[in-house]
Every structure is written in structure tokens, then in C-alpha cells.
């Protein structure tokens, strides 16, 4: 198992952050120059869900003031709470948008730092071979590059929940790897207060505890393992903490609206179509030439499921199961935003790092990494251009 001093990683993470923000700014300025965009930085980077989050920060949760019924209680509270915290610390000097930018970018840096530490702890960075791992991309740092420049990671630096969510997922897996299960439970609880899918982290938590139990006792007996959880209250508490964030929001919604499941029922405002879960959604969009962005999303989902199967076979089982279940949940109703959800689950980047590391051909590695960076730059441009695919 590889362990390194944190002090060696952090300056490199900061340097990667500065370089990738420079690239993002370059794409933004190029877009503004080519397409005569004069709306300004906040106009370009503060769109779509950002508007809802900024509304919550400024006005709290409230009944919708629009005929389509898209209410802001569809969006979970932890990210706006963090933005409010920054607003309070700065004495209200910064707008909700800039508070959101600060929260997202700090979370991005923390995510990258602990993501690199995680894969080093897991031993995934051993025997890195190939030019793509040289210099500032070596010893796991390639994963930081992916979090900051791969396709659809533009969400991690704008006021969206993805950055906070990814940070909490990374911290969860890191704590679970260190067998600090109560801390992992706390991070999962906070993830559940950021997005409902955070609840799925209970599955890898139980898997991590099972691995720990097998290592301690030499026994893989499931019933004895379950008994051991009840016999060790810290582990039982770790599991019970996971849904606490979600239930806290449900209690708030009950008192605010009289409906603890308002965050589910409000989805009707975004989509009226009903499909058979997963199968019906794929059937509708897999060959849907009239909605090409959903068709592309469907094929991306298929490719990602294949990656998760590979990750499971290669031993990244907790991550694969979490990624697959976290993707199946939105696919139970629609294809909308699934690429964003995939990117925001973090584990796909961990899987791609490991897949590229396992490639025997240096050329294949170069092509893969170059394609990822090119895709990242393209999706930044697509964001600037309000392309529906990146919504």
C-alpha cells in the first residue's frame, strides 16, 4: 500500500487547479470573442440550476413563482447552506453567485487532494507506466487532472452541487478505506443532504465493513457479520447516520409544505412523461435521432455501465456498485442530465484513471487522455454556448 506525505500532493494540486482554471478562462474568453457574448462571467457561468441555488441562498425555500411549477425545494439544502455560510463570513460583501463559486472551487481542490490520496492508499498508483503519467500527472495526480479538466467536470467549478457532492463522496471512500467508519457515515449523511443519491453510499459502507470483518475474523459468514454490526455500536451508528441528512430535509419539507416527499413530487414540473424504469427510458432514447443529446446520453450510460462492470471485476467493487446504483436511480425516470450525474458520482473518474493505467499501449493511453482533455474543453465551450447536453 502506497502512502505519501500530504505535503507533496497539495502544491501540485494547486498548480493543476491554476492551469486548468486558466484553460477554462481561455475557453470562456474565446467563446465571448467569437460569438460576441457580452452578458459577462456571471451570466455565462450562473445559469440553469445555479439560478435555483442562488434563489435558495437569497430567499430560502418558497412556493414557485412560475407557471411550470419548478420549485426550488427540488434542490437539496447543504450546498445553499454552505453558500450562506460564506456569505455570512464575508459579511454579505459577495453575491450568492460568488459565494457559490468559492464553495464549489474549494470543494474541487479538496476533492482532488483526497482523491489522489485515496487511490494511493488503495495501491492503484503502483507501477504507473507511460508518458501520460510523467511530470505533474504522475503518482495518481492524473486523477486530479480528470477532476479538473475531463468532460463534464465544468460543473465542479460553477455554483452547482456537484463539487460539494464529489468532495463528500471522495471523503467517504477515503474514510472507509481507513476504516474510520463513523466518519464515513458522517460524510455519507452530508452527501445525502446534498443530493438524495447520497443515500446510496450506505451500500459501499456495508461492503467496506464486511471486508474489514473478513480481515479481522477470517470468516465471510454473512449472518455472523450482521451480528457483528449490532455488537459494535460504532459500526451500527455509522450505518444509521447515512440517511439522517435526507430525513432531516424530509422533516423540513413536512413542516414547510405538508409533504415529506415534496422533493420527489416536484419532479413532475420538470418532466411529465412516464417510462418503465430504466428499460423504458433506454427504449425511448437509445435510437432517438429526434433528440440526439438524449441519444448520446443513453450510449454514454451504456459505456459507463460497462466500465463499472470492469471496475467490479478488477476489484474496485464498492466504487462500481455505488456508481451503478447511483446511475440507475435517475434512469428510473428519465435520461435528462445523466452525463452530469455520472460525472458527479466521482467513481467514473477513478475507474477511467485505473483503466488507462492498465492499458499496455502507451499510444492508447495518450489517445485516451488526449480525448478526455479535448472532451473537457469542448464541454466547457458547450456550457458557454448553453448546449442542452450539458444542462
Partner 1 sequence: MKKFLLYLACAGLVAFFVTVLVLGKDLKVTKQYRDFYIDHTVTKWKYEEK
Chain positions contacting partner 1, by CB under 8 A:
63-69, 233-234, 236-237, 240-241, 243-244, 247, 250-251, 254, 257-262, 265-266, 268-269, 272
Taking the C-alpha atoms of residue 335 and residue 281, their distance in angstroms, rounded to an integer, is 7
Give the CA angle between residues 331, 157, 11 to the nearest 5°: 125
Minimum CB distance to partner 1 smaller for 94 or for 260? 260
> In three state form, how does the secondary structure of the chain look?
CCCCCHHHHHHHHHHHHHHHHHHHHHHHHHHHHHHCCCCCHHHHHCCCHHHHHHHHHHHCCCCCCCCCCCCHHHCCCHHHHHHHHHHHHCCCCCCHHHHHHHHHHHHHHHHHHHHHHHHHHCCCCCCCCCHHHCHHHCCCHHHHHHHHHCCCCHHHHCCCCHHHHHHHHHHHHHHHHCCCHHHHHHHHHHHHCCCHHHHHHHHHHHHHHHHHHHHHHCCCCHHHHHHHHHHCHHHHHHHHHCCHHHHHHHHHHHHHHCCCCHHHHHHHHCCCCCCCCCHHHHHHHCCCCCCHHHHHHHHHHHHHHHHHHHHHHCCCHHHHHHHHHHHHHHHCCCCCCHHHHHHCCCHHHHHHHHHHHHCCCHHHHHHHHHHHHHHHHHHHHHHHCCCHHHC
Minimum distance from residue 234 beta carbon to partner 1 (Å): 6
Minimum distance from residue 325 beta carbon to partner 1 (Å): 21
Minimum distance from residue 251 beta carbon to partner 1 (Å): 5
Minimum CB distance to partner 1 smaller for 134 or for 234? 234
Minimum distance from residue 250 beta carbon to partner 1 (Å): 6
Minimum distance from residue 385 beta carbon to partner 1 (Å): 30
Minimum CB distance to partner 1 smaller for 203 or for 244? 244
Minimum distance from residue 237 beta carbon to partner 1 (Å): 5
Minimum distance from residue 76 beta carbon to partner 1 (Å): 16
Minimum distance from residue 212 beta carbon to partner 1 (Å): 17
Minimum CB distance to partner 1 smaller for 241 or for 342? 241
Minimum CB distance to partner 1 smaller for 29 or for 268? 268
Minimum CB distance to partner 1 smaller for 139 or for 179? 179
Minimum CB distance to partner 1 smaller for 261 or for 364? 261
Minimum CB distance to partner 1 smaller for 68 or for 290? 68
Amino acid at each position: 500500500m502506497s502512502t505519501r506525505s500530504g505535503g507533496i500532493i497539495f502544491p501540485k494540486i494547486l498548480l493543476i487547479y491554476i492551469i486548468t482554471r486558466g484553460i477554462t478562462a481561455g475557453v470562456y474568453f474565446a467563446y465571448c470573442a467569437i460569438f460576441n457574448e457580452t452578458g459577462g462571467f456571471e451570466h455565462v457561468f450562473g445559469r440553469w440550476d445555479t439560478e435555483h441555488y442562488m434563489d435558495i441562498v437569497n430567499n430560502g425555500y418558497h412556493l414557485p413563482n412560475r407557471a411550470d411549477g419548478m420549485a426550488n425545494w427540488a434542490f437539496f439544502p447543504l450546498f445553499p447552506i454552505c453558500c450562506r455560510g460564506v456569505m455570512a463570513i464575508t459579511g454579505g460583501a459577495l453575491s450568492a453567485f460568488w459565494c457559490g463559486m468559492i464553495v464549489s472551487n474549494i470543494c474541487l481542490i479538496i476533492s482532488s487532494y483526497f482523491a489522489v490520496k485515496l487511490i494511493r492508499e488503495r495501491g492503484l498508483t503502483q507501477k504507473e507506466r507511460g508518458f501520460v503519467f510523467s511530470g505533474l500527472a504522475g503518482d495518481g495526480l492524473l486523477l486530479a487532472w480528470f477532476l479538473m479538466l475531463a468532460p463534464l467536470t465544468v460543473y465542479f467549478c460553477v455554483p452547482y452541487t456537484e463539487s460539494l457532492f464529489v468532495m463528500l463522496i471522495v471523503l467517504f471512500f477515503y474514510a472507509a478505506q481507513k476504516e474510520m467508519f463513523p466518519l464515513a457515515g458522517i460524510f455519507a449523511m452530508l452527501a445525502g443532504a446534498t443530493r438524495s443519491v447520497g443515500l446510496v453510499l450506505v451500500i459501499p459502507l456495508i461492503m467496506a465493513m464486511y471486508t474489514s470483518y473478513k480481515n479481522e475474523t477470517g470468516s465471510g459468514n454473512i449472518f455472523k457479520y450482521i451480528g457483528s454490526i449490532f455488537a459494535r455500536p460504532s459500526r451500527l451508528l455509522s450505518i444509521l447516520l447515512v440517511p439522517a441528512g435526507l430525513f432531516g430535509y424530509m422533516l423540513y419539507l413536512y413542516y414547510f409544505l405538508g409533504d415529506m416527499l415534496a422533493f420527489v413530487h416536484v419532479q413532475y414540473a420538470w418532466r411529465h412523461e412516464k417510462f418503465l424504469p430504466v428499460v423504458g427510458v433506454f427504449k425511448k432514447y437509445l435510437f432517438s435521432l429526434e433528440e440526439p443529446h438524449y441519444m448520446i446520453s443513453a450510449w454514454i450510460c451504456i459505456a459507463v455501465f460497462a466500465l463499472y462492470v470492469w471496475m467490479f471485476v478488477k476489484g474496485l467493487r464498492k466504487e462500481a456498485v455505488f456508481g451503478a446504483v447511483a446511475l440507475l436511480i435517475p434512469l428510473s425516470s428519465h435520461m435528462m442530465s445523466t452525463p452530469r450525474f455520472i460525472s458527479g458520482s466521482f467513481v467514473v473518474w477513478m475507474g477511467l484513471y485505473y483503466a488507462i493505467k492498465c492499458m499496455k499501449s502507451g499510444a492508447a493511453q495518450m489517445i485516451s487522455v488526449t480525448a478526455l482533455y479535448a472532451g473537457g474543453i469542448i464541454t466547457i465551450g458547450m456550457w458557454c454556448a448553453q448546449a442542452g447536453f450539458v444542462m
